[in-house]
């Protein structure tokens, strides 16, 4: 694996290898083979979980970690992206971990960059967030032996969610039954090959996994009617326990308490899986960095 750009470019066997390696790191059974290498965190968009867990993952592997700040870098003086990456490579960076608002940022960069750098997509625009889908799958697999035939329902702002797109891409490879609940204004242009519902109870009925999404207000063009959304799509313990009592509850974060999910549900026993996702992110990202070598 030279880069990790999109789930669609991973074979099932590679995904299983990452999950297996993450499990070994979590159990403390695996040593790093990338100690002394250097990772550069290049986050042009805000992040808590992804940025900090990549930083910690690289440190746990014994890698050097450099933080690239776009605003104070020479990009702000007009240096091109190509020259920036060529210089980072010359300085000794091995792996660049990028979060950006630009769709296909890494593909666009690689068109002009035959460099010995490895790239990891830490979320690009509306396109993909592969390590989130991998850590979500890892979390599901800690509970289920197999995801084949399981009903997974993702609820909320699907249109603006690179997490939903990467999750659907991954889960479809493993035979999950994919459902989504979204109002028409949060349905993406592409079908994503999932069954859509407008009704929350109908969509989550008998689900094995319910994954809630944040409304990405920063990406909305039209005025958002929060009260109307909450009335129809907010999940609480009563609805979850009535329609999907055996489901695990997931959320990639950040959560908007009181919008897509109630505080009482988030703080309940069911909400604990959401913090487990964040914890697993470190081990999955260790596995990805280890596989990039």
**Binding residues for ligand CP (CB under 6 A):** 47-51, 123, 132, 252-254
User: What is the sign, positive or negative, of the torsion defined by CA atoms of 232, 161, 130, 165?
Assistant: positive
Proportion of the chain in helix, strand, coil states, percent, rounded to 5: 45, 15, 35
Report CA dihedral (232, 236, 237, 243) to the nearest 10 degrees: 20
Q: Which is nearer to ligand CP, 118 or 167 (CB)?
A: 167
Q: Which is nearer to ligand CP, 56 or 115 (CB)?
A: 56
Q: Which is nearer to ligand CP, 48 or 206 (CB)?
A: 48
Q: Rounded to the nearest whole angstrom, what is the least distance from the CB of residue 205 to ligand CP in the complex?
A: 26
The pairing of beta strand 248-250 with beta strand 209-212: parallel
Q: Which is nearer to ligand CP, 30 or 274 (CB)?
A: 274
Q: Which is nearer to ligand CP, 252 or 271 (CB)?
A: 252
Contacts of 161 (CB under 8 A, 6+ apart): 126, 154, 213, 216
Contacts of 209 (CB under 8 A, 6+ apart): 140, 150, 151, 152, 153, 247, 248, 250
Q: Rounded to the nearest whole angstrom, what is the least distance from the CB of residue 123 to ligand CP in the complex?
A: 6
Q: Rounded to the nearest whole angstrom, what is the least distance from the CB of residue 151 to ligand CP in the complex?
A: 23
The pairing of beta strand 177-181 with beta strand 195-197: parallel
Q: Rounded to the nearest whole angstrom, what is the least distance from the CB of residue 284 to ligand CP in the complex?
A: 12
- Detail the DSSP E strand segments found in the chain: 38-43, 64-68, 95-100, 118-124, 151-155, 177-181, 195-197, 209-212, 248-250
Q: Which is nearer to ligand CP, 30 or 251 (CB)?
A: 251
Q: Rounded to the nearest whole angstrom, what is the least distance from the CB of residue 228 to ligand CP in the complex?
A: 26
Q: Which is nearer to ligand CP, 117 or 164 (CB)?
A: 164
The residue behind tokens 């999109």 is: 6
Q: Rounded to the nearest whole angstrom, what is the least distance from the CB of residue 14 to ligand CP in the complex?
A: 21
Q: Rounded to the nearest whole angstrom, what is the least distance from the CB of residue 152 to ligand CP in the complex?
A: 17
| Alpha carbon distance 97, 286 (integer Å) | 13
Beta carbons within 10 angstroms of residue 84's beta carbon: 18
Q: What's the angle, vertex CA 282, arms to CA 26 and CA 175, rounded to 5?
A: 80
């Amino acid at each position: 694996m030279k880069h990790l750009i999109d789930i669609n470019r991973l074979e099932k066997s590679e995904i299983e290898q990452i999950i297996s390696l993450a499990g070994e790191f979590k159990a403390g059974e695996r040593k790093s083979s990338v100690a002394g290498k250097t990772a550069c965190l290049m986050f042009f968009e805000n992040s808590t979980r992804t940025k900090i867990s990549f930083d910690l993952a690289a440190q746990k592997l014994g890698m050097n970690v450099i933080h690239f700040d776009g605003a104070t870098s020479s990009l702000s003086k007009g240096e091109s992206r190509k020259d920036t990456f060529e210089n980072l490579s010359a300085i000794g960076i091995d792996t660049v971990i990028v979060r950006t608002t630009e769709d296909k940022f890494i593909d666009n960069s690689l068109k002009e960059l035959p460099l010995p750098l490895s790239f990891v997509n830490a979320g690009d625009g509306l396109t993909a967030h592969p390590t989130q889908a991998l850590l979500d799958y890892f979390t599901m697999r800690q509970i289920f032996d197999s995801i084949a035939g399981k009903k997974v329902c993702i609820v909320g702002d699907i249109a603006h969610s690179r997490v939903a797109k990467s999750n659907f891409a991954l889960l479809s490879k493993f035979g999950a039954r994919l459902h989504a609940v979204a109002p028409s204004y949060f349905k993406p242009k592409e079908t994503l090959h999932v069954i859509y519902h407008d009704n929350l109870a109908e969509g989550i009925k008998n689900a094995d996994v319910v994954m809630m999404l944040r409304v990405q207000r920063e990406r909305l063009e039209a005025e958002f009617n929060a009260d109307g959304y909450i009335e129809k799509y907010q999940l609480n313990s009563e609805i979850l326990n009535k329609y999907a009592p055996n489901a695990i509850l997931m959320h990639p974060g950040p959560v908007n308490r009181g919008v897509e999910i109630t505080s009482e549900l988030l703080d309940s026993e069911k909400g604990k899986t959401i913090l487990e996702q964040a914890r697993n992110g470190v081990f999955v990202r260790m596995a990805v960095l280890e596989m990039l070598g």
